[in-house]
Amino acid sequence: MCVALPLKVNEVDGNWAIVEVSGGKIRVRSDLVSVKPGDYVLVHAGFIIEKLEPEEARKTLDMFREIEG
């Protein structure tokens, strides 16, 4: 089973996107989904597989914070 957290896109360079992960940043591929800075996305195996509505991303992140706390 895989669990994916919503990640926020910081910048886009061609088919690469820089996303925030736990205070850090990683490069992922955006070949499958068109994104822009500020979008929230799900990533699997280094590829963005889905774009999320900001409200849905916030709810999911809040749920994970509650589980952590």
**pLDDT value for 22:** 80
Residue 18 near residue 8, CB atoms below 8 Å: no
**pLDDT value for 65:** 86
Q: Distances from the Cα of 56 to the Cαs of 13, 14, 27, 63, in angstroms? A: 25, 26, 23, 11
Question: pLDDT for 12-69, tens place per residue?
Answer: 999 999 999 888 999 999 999 999 999 999 998 899 999 999 999 999 889 988 988 7
- Name the residue ranges covered by the structural domains of the chain: 7-68
Fold of 7-68: SH3 type barrels. (2.30.30)
Residue 1 confidence class, pLDDT cut points 50, 70, 90: low
**pLDDT value for 61:** 87
